[in-house]
Amino acid sequence: MSELNTEAISVQFQGLRALDSVDLSLKEGEILGLLGPNGAGKTTLVNVISGFQRPTEGTVRVDGKSVGGLTPDALARCGVARTFQSVRLFRRLSVLENVEISALCHAKSRNEARSTARRALEFVGLGPVARRLAGELPYADERRVGIARALALRPRFLLLDEPAAGMTDSECRDLVEIVRQLPQSFGCAVLLIEHNIGLVMEVCNRLHVLNGGRTLADGPVETVRNNPDVIAAYLGGA
């Protein structure tokens, strides 16, 4: 059973403590919702886990082994994949090439990578636009390319940073279906950052709530939803 843990992660930006001793765990097969108001430290935590941000204190472990010294690309190759809140596609490359690039990690040839990429694009419903330039896609499709690109790494842990931001209700529903299938179809655990509480309740098994860089609550959806601190700090205000 594989598992990703952060142990007492703190990140200090000059005067600002963006994360303060955060313990989070992500277990095989689950979809964990990471909640918190803007500036709570959610993206910073994803940056730490994916190797983009060195924590001031604390350790990230995969299956009990520290992965603190690994670079983002090494982590991606070992099964920790992420998307970006700002998407960051390779805009002047085709949609297929965008996904092929990460598929090349585990493929022996461009042909093999291309077929992995096609499958990932079919899965997120973008098969028909594979030949288009990534920079020409509408916003909602860009985000789905970002997910396909992460999936082509064959991740064991997938970190999605606000994948539904800016989507319409019907686009959100499509996304929920995609995310819900990930553990079975790709065998990966999902960490989902999302503001839309309805969407989170629908798809997640467990919630982890951050506020001002600290863990406010962590547990099954029902328990966390009824936690008075959470209601006061976040749900109440939403």
Ligand X SMILES: Nc1ncnc2c1ncn2[C@@H]1O[C@H](COP(=O)(O)OP(=O)(O)O)[C@@H](O)[C@H]1O
Q: Which residues bind Mg ion (CB under 5 A)?
A: 43, 85
Terminal-to-terminal C-alpha distance of the chain: 36
Nearer to other proteins, 69 or 228 (CB): 69
- Residue 44: contacted member of other proteins, Mg ion, ligand X, none (CB under 5 to 8 Å, by partner type): ligand X
User: Rounded to whole angstroms, how far apart are CA atoms 58 and 61?
Assistant: 10
* Number of residues binding to ligand X, judged by CB under 6 A: 11
When CB distances to Mg ion are compared, the closest residue is: 43
Angle at 167 between CA 166 and CA 172, to 5 degrees: 140
Alpha-carbon Rg for the chain in angstroms = 17
Site for ligand X in 41-60 (CB under 6 A): 41-44
Question: Which spans of this chain sit near other proteins (rule: CB under 8 A)?
Answer: 50, 52, 71-73, 76-77, 81-82, 84, 88-94, 97, 100-102, 104-105, 109-110, 113, 133, 149-150, 153
Long-range Cβ contacts of 52-55 (<8 Å, 24+ apart)? 53/11, 55/9, 55/10, 55/11, 55/19
- Residue 197: contacted member of other proteins, Mg ion, ligand X, none (CB under 5 to 8 Å, by partner type): none
Q: Contact 58/213 with Cβ under 8 angstroms?
A: no
User: Rounded to whole angstroms, how far apart are CA atoms 60 and 73?
Assistant: 16
Nearer to other proteins, 92 or 236 (CB): 92
Contacts with ligand X by CB under 6 A lie at 13, 16, 18, 36, 38-44
